[in-house]
Structure 1
Amino acid sequence: MSPSTFQTFDWTLVRSFLAVLDAGSLMGAARSLGAQQPTLSRHIAELEAQLGAALFERTGRGVVPTAAALAIAEAAREMQAGAERLAAGLDRQRQSTTGTVRLAASQIAASHLLPPVLAALREAEPGIQVELVVSNAISNLLRREADIAVRMARPDQASLVARKLADLPIVACAHERYLARHGMPLAPAELLDAARGHTLIGYERDDTILRGFAAMGFAVEHGHFMLRTDDQLAYGELIAAGAGIGFSARYCLRSWPGVVPILPGLPIPPIPCWLAVHREIRGNAVVRRVFDFLGAMIPEVLGADEPATAGVARTNE
């Protein structure tokens, strides 16, 4: 084959040539390729013209390959295999998950729940980049500042789709060093007994803990909490440092060696963990992959002692 012939050679004709070679007839080749017999006949004629050699001799029962056809058969099969590898590679590229997803979560979830989840996501989907947005506001989804959000309350915006992942137990807890100094409280009333000398860690402006005590029948005021902060990370670090008794999601205790739950009979309601995504971007393949991965992995990380509760909810529908 001359250089000029090589430059004009139609590589797509090789597929038809091999089909005829393997089938032994134009009719059989057309059947195997789902093509029309005249089309294959034209392909063979074009290939013969480009090569300057006859490839098949017509017989009453079909075709017989010529010496020229047999001489190029191996190279043609290599070309076909290469084309198939090329197509497979392109298909893998099209199906690969690549892109960037912005994930919003609270300080506590971002610090204590999501790190092992995101580490697993990196191993499973190396083509996905994650931007972790630490925020307690669900509005960042509505303003499209994030694609997905992990929230500890069910979002009620109609434009969001939410999936409940778990009910997270909340526990009273303290470091073993603190308990060694001040003793283990055996009843909730001991926490409020000044004579017991316990230090309660509470919030400054957030009244969540106050409302919780009120629901259990205890009249508690800000003055009962000798340490107060609304910063979630600082709150947890105070507990971990042995500064006093606080209240936390049980999964956080894994990050604080020596911090143990106390008062197991204290009826603290669990808080729900929700995964939310804007309805219009849920169809995005990358966002959908991360959403599904988080939906499966977060309950697994929470562990058997914090079982996930199944269910998908479209808000306000």
Structure 2
Amino acid sequence: MSPLPRFDWSLVPSFLAVLDAGSLMGAARALNAQQPTLSRHIAALEAQLGVALFERTGRGVQPTAAARALADAARHMAEGADRMNQQLLRRASSMQGTVRVSASQVPAVTLLPPLLAELHRQEPGLQVELVATNAVSNLLRREADIALRMLRPVQSGLVARKLGEVAVVACAHESYLARRGTPRAVADLAGHTLVGMDRDPGILQGFAAAGMPLTREHFALRTDDQTAYAALVMAGAGIGFMARYLVDSTPGLVALLPELPTPRLPAWLVVHREIRGSPAVRRVFDFLAEALPPLLA
């Protein structure tokens, strides 16, 4: 058996257009092509297949049994070509580049990973480096391209967008509360184990502002490492003070004492003025600026 001649896929759109329109003239209008061109395409396809596809009538064309039999396969072929074309267009227009994002440990571990995973699904050409550090990355020295900070930068040359305010609340794991009871008033804290910071004065300053001057010794467990702090509270070690978004998203953690005047920390997304025009940096910045505020709130 002699092999079939090489099939010309480019003739399929003309075949489907004539099949759907019922005439060469209608198909030409649909494809914005010339009628003689379509006529040549149909003749070439019939020659390749060795069958007649249309019968000419006074009012147009009628598909033959062979054309009707081939219609479904031709449509699947056209749909596959369209899907491939869309994939090629997405790849050609996909964002390229590397962007370095800095954040303190807790948001770097809890907030950013699912967001960056979604960003990568949308922009597979982007490469993102996540820097989890409590030190303030210096954007002026390009230690990071974008930074998530809990304080507004004062250096010139940086552009900052306020994302909202992060509420800090008293909280404890349900295992601790089952063992030691739930405080019903602020004064009840005196009878509980408190988890505090070691050298960071933030919690002490918050209590002092609320008219409750405490010392380091009031906190039986202390650490300045954010992930270790959260781990202590989640292990049921005592009552701590953590971001509301983390308490709400962590099974077993319970927010306590809503009347306690705890601070609200402003959250800022920061980028260097000179690189904010980079398409890759702009894409990551805009994505995070839209996705983070609902989570922080």
The two structures have a TM-score, normalised by structure 2, of 0.69
Q: What secondary structure, in the 3-state scheme, does the structure 2 residue paired with 1:297 have?
A: helix
Tell me what 1:110 maps to. 108
Verify: 1:146 aligned to 2:140, yes or no.
no
**Cα gap change, 1:91 to 1:184, in 2 (>3 Å):** closer
CA contact (8 A) 1:101 1:287 kept: yes
Number of aligned positions between the proteins = 230
1:254: how far off?
4.2
**Cα distance in 1 between the residues matched to 2:246 and 2:91:** 39
Which residue, 278, 289, 292 being the options, matches 1:295? 289
1:102: how far off?
0.6
1:269: how far off?
2.2
**Cα distance in 1 between the residues matched to 2:137 and 2:229:** 24
Unaligned 5+ runs, structure 1: 1-66, 76-86, 307-317
| Percent of pairs with identical residues | 59
**Cα gap change, 1:208 to 1:89, in 2 (>3 Å):** closer
Unaligned 5+ runs, structure 2: 1-35, 45-84
1:188: how far off?
1.6
Verify: 1:212 aligned to 2:210, yes or no.
no
1:46-61 matched pairs, under 5 angstroms = none
1:189: how far off?
2.1
- Deviation per residue, 1:128-179 (Å, 9 max, x gap): 1111011223343121011101111111111110001111111000011111
**Cα distance in 1 between the residues matched to 2:221 and 2:199:** 12
1:95: how far off?
3.4
One-letter code aligned to 2:107: A
One-letter code aligned to 1:247: F
CA contact (8 A) 2:137 2:144 kept: no
1:1-317 matched pairs, under 5 angstroms = 95-191=93-189, 193=190, 196=191, 198-302=192-296, 306=297
1:300: how far off?
3.1
**Cα distance in 1 between the residues matched to 2:194 and 2:212:** 14
One-letter code aligned to 1:219: P
**Cα distance in 2 between the residues matched to 1:270 and 1:300:** 15
The two structures have a TM-score, normalised by structure 1, of 0.65
1:123: how far off?
1.6
CA contact (8 A) 1:117 1:301 kept: no
Q: What secondary structure, in the 3-state scheme, does the structure 2 residue paired with 1:169 have?
A: strand
One-letter code aligned to 1:243: A
RMSD: 3.1
